[in-house]
Amino acid sequence: MDEFIGGEYDIIVVGAGHAGCEAALATSRLGLKTAVFSLNLDSIANMPCNPNIGGTAKGQLVREIDALGGQMGLSADETFIQSKILNRAKGPAVYSLRAQIDRKAYHAYMKWVLENQENLDIKQAEVIEILTQDKKVTGVRVHTGTIYLARAVILTTGTYLKGRIIIGHTSFSSGPDGLFPANELSDSLRSLGIELMRFKTGTPARVNRRSIDFSKLEEQKGDDQITPFSFMTETLKENQVSCWLTHTSSKTHEIIKDNLHRSPLYSGDIEGIGPRYCPSIEDKIVRFADKESHQIFIEPMGLNTQEMYLQGLSTSMPEDVQIKMIQSLPGLENASVMRPAYAIEYDCINPTQLKLSLEFKEIDGLFSAGQINGSSGYEEAAAQGLMAGINAAMKLKNREPLVLDRSQAYIGVLIDDLVTKGTREPYRMMTSRAEYRLWLRQDNADMRLTQLGRDIGLVSDARYDRFMRKKKMIDDEMKRLKETMLTPTEETNAFLARHNSARLQAGIKLYDLLKRPEMSYEFFKEIGQASDLPDDVIEQISINIKYEGYLDRQMNQIQQFKRMEERRLPKDIDYTKIQGLCLEARQKLSSLRPESLGQASRISGVSPADISVLLVYLESLKRKESSKGESHVE
């Protein structure tokens, strides 16, 4: 029987979770005919775990996605039900925006965005095979046998590859939320020579709001002044819900300890490696035996549902144990469990098989993004999806890929960590992973990345005009503050005294006055020296001035880092023939094929001595090239 060709596209995206949505929107917005495939269109942009976006380090990722022209921030602003800035007391380097999202509204809104996007077709089908010819992608085959042709394919399969749900000693083939898994694609990837790993994640139980005694819980309200995720959002709704806090009790711990032998995590029923930074409650009790209690946040799933999510109570214990655990929590003594917690195992790839562009090194035109790359989290997935989409489009347009380095964005840190270092557990973004986090703040993501998004073609005229206006306001006000002198008048010193600031003996520029820790830009209104500026502009000006010394030091570090990144390594370099490299370095460098000296220095097993050898080798190559040029001239 002749094979049926269902369509021909520039790019096919396999999966429509958070990575798939960003990838498909990026490629189609860049003018490429795109198809995105989902196992079920009702699961587009699904949030099978906690329906929140942002959080520590993750809020930075969302802001960067937005600055580059991505969608997640805009969709979150449309559908949030509570918003707050985390880490306010710790300084701007780690401020992180987090919003509780209406899960169903987010799915519906993102699906609507995809459906109305030019150059984008949405299809419900299971992709079972990646088609290639001579190590080059040619298309995909779906479960009905239909073939779709494409010049590039982006894998964004999330946790669906051979997904297995585990609850106690019960396990069954399934994707998250009881959806169908993708059971055949893993075999296709292996046949292409792709190395797969087995990871695990999990999601806590959901309980009925009507069965909770809120009088025993601590209320967690959102911020009074709400900060949007998107730099384009002008007006925001108010916070509409509260979250709630309870704690595990000694009874909870006793129940868990008495039933550890029934936990698949400890019985060996779970083979996949779980996330270190989001452990199950039984793992917490064992690993932190000295802690008397652990926080459990009770968070709404949306405005039109009574389901509440128990954050911090991830488990794969049997259902009867789960109910006892939950009902041992203050306020949840009579809780009615609507969905039990579960663990899910799934196949993912070893991300060191990818280039920094997220294209496979050995398969031309095949890209990969999201949880299939060994990461965890909606935000990490969306960031990779956006970059994979951009770079697939750049490849087909014969343009250089967009590779963000570690000094440009959290996105750069995320991708570099995965591709260069690899991961043996689900990778989670954290502020501590970013060496230059004082520069990579959430408030200045637009200043760092909007121009790059514009150069790529994803930033609209309206967004770019707004960015340029904001940039001008910042530049003009910084200039005014540097030029405006405040004299030591009686009025000035009275103003300073009111704010517990030292009197002036001589004139001082407003710029230098604002450096004082106790001074705020808002205070300048009292003496008629504050311009009428938006809050986000004032925030950036204040941070730039107050942290000027630290930022200057960090920029010097970034310049040193850039010098290493700019030392490119030849693609055809034979590391086995370089004298002085240790055996492990030769093996790792030959396998991972780093693109720069900087990337090579971050590979586990490559020592500073090996980097010195590579430096000498590059200098010798440079001298050879130089002598060849001189000989040619003669």
Give the pLDDT score at 2: 65
Give the pLDDT score at 3: 83
The answer to whether residue 247 scores a pLDDT higher than 70 is yes
Rounded Cα distance between 28 and 57, Å, is 28
| C-beta of residue 369 within 8 angstroms of C-beta of residue 236 | no
Residue-averaged pLDDT of the chain = 94
The answer to whether residue 631 scores a pLDDT higher than 80 is no
> Which residue bears the tokens 């150069």?
455
The per-residue pLDDT for range 96-141, each reduced to its tens digit, is 999 999 999 999 999 999 999 999 999 999 999 999 999 999 999 9
Give the pLDDT score at 277: 61
What are the C-alpha distances in Å from 514 to residues 94, 543, 544?
21, 10, 10
Q: Mind listing the domains of the chain with CATH numbers? A: 206-342 (2.40.30.260), 470-559 (1.10.10.1800), 568-633 (1.10.150.570)
- With bands split at pLDDT 50, 70 and 90, how would you rate the model's confidence at 610? very high
As a whole number, mean pLDDT of residues 157-180 equals: 93
The answer to whether residue 625 scores a pLDDT higher than 80 is no
**Cβ count near 17 (within 10 Å):** 29
Percent of the residues in the chain that have a pLDDT greater than 70, as a whole number: 96
Pick from 201, 202, 196, 203: nearest CA to 372: 196
Out of 291-295, 312-316, 621-625, which region has the weakest mean confidence (pLDDT)?
Answer: 621-625
| C-beta of residue 104 within 8 angstroms of C-beta of residue 46 | no
Give the pLDDT score at 402: 98
| C-beta of residue 450 within 8 angstroms of C-beta of residue 569 | no
- Joined together, the tokens standing for residue 130 give 């990646």
Rounded Cα distance between 89 and 73, Å, is 24
Percent of the residues in the chain that have a pLDDT greater than 90, as a whole number: 86
The answer to whether residue 293 scores a pLDDT higher than 60 is yes
Give the H/E segment covering residue 264. Answer: helix 264-267
> Which residue bears the tokens 């000694």?
250
Q: How far is CA 80 from the centre of its chain?
A: 18
SS3 609: helix
SS3 344: strand
Per 3-state DSSP, what percentage of the chain is helix, strand, and coil (rounded to 5)? 40, 20, 40
The answer to whether residue 32 scores a pLDDT higher than 60 is yes
The per-residue pLDDT for range 451-498, each reduced to its tens digit, is 999 999 999 999 999 999 999 999 999 999 999 999 999 999 999 999
**Cβ count near 406 (within 10 Å):** 25
Phi and psi (nearest 5°) for 148? Answer: -120, 125
As a whole number, mean pLDDT of residues 201-226 equals: 95
The answer to whether residue 1 scores a pLDDT higher than 50 is no
The per-residue pLDDT for range 321-351, each reduced to its tens digit, is 999 999 999 999 999 999 999 999 999 999 9
More confident residue, 275 or 486: 486
The per-residue pLDDT for range 406-445, each reduced to its tens digit, is 999 999 999 999 999 999 999 999 999 999 999 999 999 9
Give the pLDDT score at 633: 46
Give one word for 357, left, alpha or beta, with left for phi > 0 and alpha for psi -120 to 50: alpha
Give the pLDDT score at 363: 98
Rounded Cα distance between 348 and 186, Å, is 9
Give the pLDDT score at 287: 85
- Joined together, the tokens standing for residue 199 give 């990871």
Rounded Cα distance between 213 and 195, Å, is 49
In the chain, DSSP finds a helix count (H) and a strand count (E) of 20, 22
Q: What is the DSSP string of 285-336?
A: HHHTTT-S--EEEEEES-TT--EEEEET------HHHHHHHHHTSTT-TT--
Pick from 394, 434, 400: nearest CA to 416: 434
**Angle between helix 319-327 and 250-258 (nearest 10):** 170
Q: What is the DSSP string of 545-594?
A: HHTHHHHHHHHHHHHHHHHHHTSBPPTT--GGG-TT--HHHHHHHHHH--
